[in-house]
Amino acid sequence: MRKHDEIPDRLVEGNPDVGSFSNCNVCHEGAAKGDFDEDRAIIPGYGRWDD
């Protein structure tokens, strides 16, 4: 199971502001510090993801 399997590809790979699931720091501002808390993730052009 992928960590992002619940997020539609169009919001990430189809999003020119994100482009790839490997661009962690785009949605996870704290990625450089190891903070990947989904409650603080913001998808550009969409907002917070709530599964």
pLDDT in tens, 1-51: 478 889 999 999 999 999 999 999 999 999 999 999 999 999 999 999 876
pTM listed for this prediction: 0.85
Buried b (16+ CB within 10 A) or exposed e, 17-50: ebeeeeeeebbbeeeeeeeeeeeebebeebeebe
Instruction: Quote the domain boundaries for residue 18.
Output: 9-48
Q: Kindly state whether residue 4 falls inside one of the protein's structural domains.
A: no
pLDDT of residue 50: 78
Q: Domains in the chain: how many in total?
A: 1
pLDDT of residue 1: 40
pLDDT of residue 12: 95
Q: Kindly state whether residue 2 falls inside one of the protein's structural domains.
A: no
Q: Kindly state whether residue 41 falls inside one of the protein's structural domains.
A: yes
